[in-house]
Amino acid sequence: MSQRRRIPVLLAAALLVGCETEPDSQEMAARAPSSQTFHQAVEAMLPSVVFIQIEARPVVAGGLFGPFPDELHEGIPDGGRLPAEGAGSGIIVSEDGYILTSDHVVQQADRVTVLLHDRRQFEARVVARDPSTDVAVVKIDGDDLPVARLGDSDDLELGDWVLALGSPLGLQFSVTAGVVSAVGRAIGILNNAQEGQQRTAPLEHFIQTDAAINPGNSGGPLVNLEGEVVGINTAIASPTGFFAGYGFAVPINLARRVAAQLIEHGYVRRAYLGLLLNNVNQADAEVYGLEAAQGAEVVSIESISPAAKAGVELGDVIVGIANKPVHSVSDLQAALATLEPGSTVHVDIVRYGQPVRVPVELGLIRSGVKPEPPPPAEGPTRVGFSLATESGRLVVAAVRPYSAAARAGVRAGQTIIAVNRHEVATVEDFVEAVNNGNRGVVSLVVEDPMIGRTIINFELRT
């Protein structure tokens, strides 16, 4: 009987303790971020977010463009080759127009156009890009541009609120919200290299989030509630190519270092050990005498490498470097990215149950691509289309795919009525009207076979 009497007393005590420690609704509301918190973060960041459009060189049908292949939309077949255009996002990181984005957004780009949140539009050039981290830098010519505030991705904790800003599926300057689901995540997406000689030692240490990320978000910011960039959105885990629960972002601390080197050198200098590594599983932990299944297992050593010279052995498990703990291969890669090539650091190893500290002089590897100038476009370029005279009418004969004219609605078969508010009847009239008008834009009045008379305005390309 005494046992039966004690049980309800214990349960009641537990309930009373719970009641005393559980916060009331007002306290919970005070802790939760308000709509105003989200508004302020978005307002602080949105002016520095950009929409990036690219025109890409033709590629063989069926080729892949990178982690978000669906971001590049295939065009009309031409001799078995497809012209392409694509879109992504980015952030302005300097007042004079340097923009941080994803490598796969601009990887194939021949022409890059950047649209600011205030609707100003600029031609851009790719400064350099690093396929190993999926980071790239493009440049526009501007002054006093709004600059994104960069935070500290090392401060992120699981459950932190974050916002994903960008232009998913062409929906420009959109915002979604979620939380940090994981950090230090490696998903193997950068190992699928289309450019093997350019993608040196892929480095994945992603932030995982359930904020909705879709094609077009790539290169855009992952933002904390202080309005600071903590990551660059780069990939999604999805069987369909669209958001299915989780997205991934390059930590801003890594992206910022890579971008600075791409701007200064045109490539990235990274510290190098010369090892092939695996994450430790439970069987490894038992074989190597580890307390937990953590660390980076050495499964192969380059014969002439910094690690070989220092005496690292097959079967060693790296558990620390430069006084930083290593729980996974991704941790080791991220730590190496912060270290200076040529410096000597201590590598902490467990060698079949015995702790060993090995000094290693770090080697140097380079990664990154500085694009060559794009090849000259074939066919009509400045206005984006060619003309012919038919039965006394001036007619659009051909339009360059994905040109500004094509995007604005110029189509073969349309009759040109006026250019820059001047009626035209011949090619000479057309050229004179273009040259005498605003050199940056052209305004057409055309007779379209389908919809009748309409006006089309677009920017000229040189």
List the one residue out of 136, 155, 44, 57 whose CA is nearest residue 89.
Answer: 136
Q: Residue 365: how many CB atoms within 10 A of its CB? A: 17
Please provide residue 402's backbone torsions phi and psi, each rounded to the nearest 5 degrees: 65, 15
**Which of 134, 284, 316, 348 does the annotation list as catalytic?**
134
**Which of 218, 330, 367, 403 does the annotation list as catalytic?**
218
Coil, strand or helix at 439: coil
What tokens does 68 get? 């978000």
- Report how far residue 75's alpha carbon sits from residue 142's, in angstroms, rounded to the nearest whole number: 32
214: left (phi over 0), alpha (psi -120 to 50) or beta: beta
**Which of 48, 102, 103, 104 does the annotation list as catalytic?**
104
- C-alpha dist (Å) from residue 50 to 121, 129, 173: 10, 18, 8
Please count the CA atoms within 13 angstroms of the CA of 406 that sit on its side-chain side.
Answer: 19
- Report how far residue 229's alpha carbon sits from residue 215's, in angstroms, rounded to the nearest whole number: 19
Q: What is the dihedral of CA 100, 101, 107, 109, to 10 degrees?
A: -80
Annotated active-site residue 104? The verdict is yes
Q: Buried (b) or exposed (e) across 383-415, using 16+ Cβ within 10 A? A: bbbebeeeeeebbbeebbbbbbbbbebbeeebb
Q: Find all residues with CB under 8 Å of 434, minimum gap 6, and list them.
A: 383, 419, 420, 442, 460
Pairing label, strands 415-419, 385-390:
unpaired
Rg (CA), the chain: 28
DSSP string, 227-244: S-EEEEEEEEE-SSSS-S
Q: Which helix (H) or strand (E) holds 43?
A: helix 35-45
DSSP string, 49-108: EEEEEEEEEEEETT---SS-GGGEEE---BTTEEEEEEEEEEEE-STT-EEEE-HHHHTT
Annotated active-site residue 265? The verdict is no
Query: Which residues are designated catalytic?
Result: 104, 134, 218
